[in-house]
Structure 1
Amino acid sequence: MTSTPERIALPALLAGQGLFQAALACGAPWGAAAWGGTEPGRLPTNKRIASGAAAIVYLALAARSITALGHTPSMALAGLMALGTATNAASPSRWERFGWAPYTATIGCLAWRAAHQASASPLPC
């Protein structure tokens, strides 16, 4: 199967999300844009550890989506991103509502489209 824009953009966006979490774990002062926005500035240790774990997950998903080019990506990724979109959309943080919610929605849509293209299922749009 040939590469499609979805299959190229998906790992890049996942890596971007992973790098953001890695920066938080390393102490970047972006707490207002993560974890509900309740910690402006540098995150406390427990949330920095959680960001480190999230970074590993997102970067692993990015690597997996690169190696899966031409194969069916997991629909679980689309579901995970739908959950992330809902969580970010409900956040008190403006950064999460207006930045991360659309970002994770885009990843979810790309994963869903790539999975349907790989399975040759017709897309509704």
Structure 2
Amino acid sequence: IYVREGCWYCHTQQTRTLLADTKRSGWRGVDSPVSTPDEFVYDSPHMFGTKRTGPDLSRVGGKYDEQWHRTHFRNPRDLVPGSIMPPYPWIVENPDEFKAMVAYLQQLGRAKNWRPDNDYEK
């Protein structure tokens, strides 16, 4: 779904060593860890992204709950005023695809074990 919908065109999935990256991907004032090859060595295809039009998603896992993602896919500007992400209501309307997409996003960056479980941003 992530590949089919072209999410990787605008979203990268690696936190670079730049302070701006670790702060942006951080959580509640804690900088995120930098990405390491072991996080994506078995991905096929690799989802490095082509540019950073949207935020990097390498540490998004566990940051937002399912309802946040539901609202965000329906209309991103309801949660992020000024967002340039297009709406993807058809993902939300298909329960299997929505659950699969949220499951994929929720696992991104979780292997680093740097953020507590179920402590979502509001």
Tell me which protein shows more helix as a share of its residues: 1
Q: After TM superposition, is the score higher than 0.5?
A: no
User: Normalization by structure 1: what TM-score?
Assistant: 0.30
Larger Rg: 1
